[in-house]
A = this chain, B = another copy of it.
Amino acid sequence: MTKLHPNPKGKYIVGVDIGGTFIKAALLDRQGHIVAVTRRPAHAERGVDATLSMVVEAAREAMAEGKAAADQVCGLGMGVPGRHQSEEGICIYSPNFMGWTNVQLLQPVEEQLGVAAFMRNDVKTATLGEHRFGAGRGFRHVVMITLGTGIGGGAIIDGELRLGSSEGFSEVGHMTVDPHGRQCGCGNHGCWEAMAARDAIIERAVRAIQTGRATALAAHGQNLSAITPAVIYEAAQKGDAVAREVLEETGMYLGIGVANLIQLYNPEVFIIGGGIAQAGELLFDPLRRTVNARAQMVPASTCQIVPAALGDDAGVIGASVLVLERLQAKG
């Protein structure tokens, strides 16, 4: 493969955020502002070629909408879930895309679109976006996590996103926080994401219902699959004691992991994003109490804990930073 070089004269960058359900593509200027944005189905079930065609189509539409010709585009950046050898354009595996085992992602995009393409893990990409243009702006030491189905992480250390020896840096969701805890999808027991992400929250609520506790959530007793984190927050906000306990326990486990990462990465700012972070103070209050109690050697006071600032745009904005970094490295 002959890798294309980014075009230093371009005014625009294409940022792509690949999710399990949708692909989002944006045309951005070099200051991280979104000029045009579009979405396509990810077609995860149809194989890598189908998904990459959607990426190219979405990129073309964003460019057309923003009236950007290919020669006005510096390059395309892409945030992709999973583990990669991203310099080589290879996805080693991606949890939502069955069959994406050692597949080449950049070459087909470059060939079809004619612009230089770059990629990173999706959460690491979002971290770049928050660092350059969001809640981490101006800091040299930043940790970001996204709370959802799992817990993803990215870390900026001495001003740079760190990948480690095989792009496994900051796999924060898979640190053990309770040796006897629930089994995680990875096979280990008591991983942070097994104790504090989506399934753990739901399981706590279901257990309370099954033991017959009085809770508004029991109205879903015939259809446990209707119990989602959003349903639990709603009940908690209305004062449901069981729902509040679920968030309290989840927040406590979240706080253990946050305190650990403060001891290990010593960041100035700790950014929390992802759908579950929407739960607000009912989750953040026990989280902060736990961090204050447990972060002793590197004290909680050394680090601000803040919500993500770019919301759902962090991915495409971060993807544009992947291209900006290459342009700056060039000189």
Contact = CB atoms under 8 A, between A and B. Distances in A.
A178 B175 contact: no
A127 interface: no
Nearest to A166: B302
A188 B262 CA distance: 14
A175 B296 contact: no
A296 B266 contact: no
Contact of A296 (B179, B188, B256): B188
A326 interface: no
Contacts of A169: 157, 264-266
A164 B141 contact: yes
Given A171-B298, A298-B171, A265 B158 contact: no
Contacts of A189: 294
A171 B266 contact: yes
Most B Cβ at <10 Å: residue of A166, A295, A298 = A298
Interface string A100-144: 000000000000000000000000000000000000000011000
Contact of A302 (B165, B187, B263): B165
Contacts of A263: 168, 171-172, 174-175
Q: How many copies does the complex hold?
A: 2
Interface residues of A, number: 49
A165 B187 contact: no
Contacts of A160: 158
B176 A179 contact: no
B296 A187 contact: yes
Nearest to A256: B176
Interface of A: 140-141, 157-158, 160, 162-179, 184, 186-189, 252-253, 256, 259-268, 293-298, 302-303
Q: Which 3 A-B pairs have the closest CB atoms?
A: A164-B266, A168-B298, A168-B266
